[in-house]
Structure 1
């Protein structure tokens, strides 16, 4: 009888462990899902093309970008947009932004919105 009791205890201990592992697997995102979310602005379609990035940025977004991305400096925002407007490729824009603003999280919602405006100019 003691053997049966020990077996029941061992079985009870194993079951929660398996349940915990199954729950952890369901909670953990798949590698492909994580990769698909990185820099979503690269694959999402921007709006209609524009000749100047400023026309693709609303007043509210401009204030958000200046405060969140351009260190609260409207001149830095303006100068950066002017430089981007004359660039010809997205790779050129990214190199410039990564050099000038290494602190940017390229997966953040604010950067997403800014890059979608940039992509309306540079496709």
Structure 2
């Protein structure tokens, strides 16, 4: 395995590990679900480093030099010694190469990696998938907390679509009337007083979905 490729693999793993650690520093609740991926990347990084080390150790062995004068090819005794040296050195050389090859092949077959580009794509896809899952989980938890939390300003819990719904269904498309109602609600300290106020001033059908939703927001302010 070419050293340049191995170094690129190490760099890819380091980048992904760094991104995961940065995410977990800000979102520690996601550490448990994301830890298997972090552990996998660390193990992969360790294997890449081992393979690079074996490659470097193998390159330090000089299998081409001989202790004899290569120009004395006519000397039968020298030829015999050379052949004996080659026979003795070949298993060492072959063993070293096979060791690197075996570790390299088993590692990259296990990881399903053949070339740099597929590895890069796989890393980006995995990181993106994890990021999407973590963001979805965080977003869901945040949304649940907002929905369950006590409201100081009920406008903060009203999405743009619901705002248009309330203005259209409850305030006859009068946005100023809607804003006045929100300000009135935020200033009050008694939930029953607010609901009684709207029951007296508005001709709303209390069975209507928009009315129920609006009153539930008011009740949350006092939970």
Q: TM-score normalised to the size of structure 1?
A: 0.58
- Do residues 86 (structure 1) and 187 (structure 2) align? yes
Partner of 1:122: 222
Q: Is the 8 A contact 2:167 2:174 kept in 1?
A: yes
| Greater share of helix | 2
Partner of 1:107: 207
Task: Write the distance in 2 (CA, Å) between the matches of 1:116 and 1:91.
Answer: 12
Partner of 2:173: 72
Task: Write the distance in 2 (CA, Å) between the matches of 1:47 and 1:107.
Answer: 23
- Do residues 96 (structure 1) and 197 (structure 2) align? yes
- Please say which structure displays the higher CA radius of gyration: 2
Deviates more, 1:59-68 or 1:106-115: 106-115
Q: Is the 8 A contact 2:171 2:178 kept in 1?
A: yes
Runs of 4+ in 1 over 3 A off after TM superposition: none
Partner of 2:151: 50
Question: Which protein, 1 or 2, shows the higher relative CO under an 8 Å CA cutoff with sep ≥ 6?
Answer: 1
Structure 1: 5+ residue stretches without partners:
1-45
Give 1:122 deviation, angstroms: 2.4
SS in 2 for 1:50: coil
Deviates more, 1:73-82 or 1:113-122: 113-122
Give 1:61 deviation, angstroms: 0.3
Structure 2: 5+ residue stretches without partners:
1-146
Give 1:47 deviation, angstroms: 2.5
The CA RMSD measured in Å over matched residues stands at: 1.3
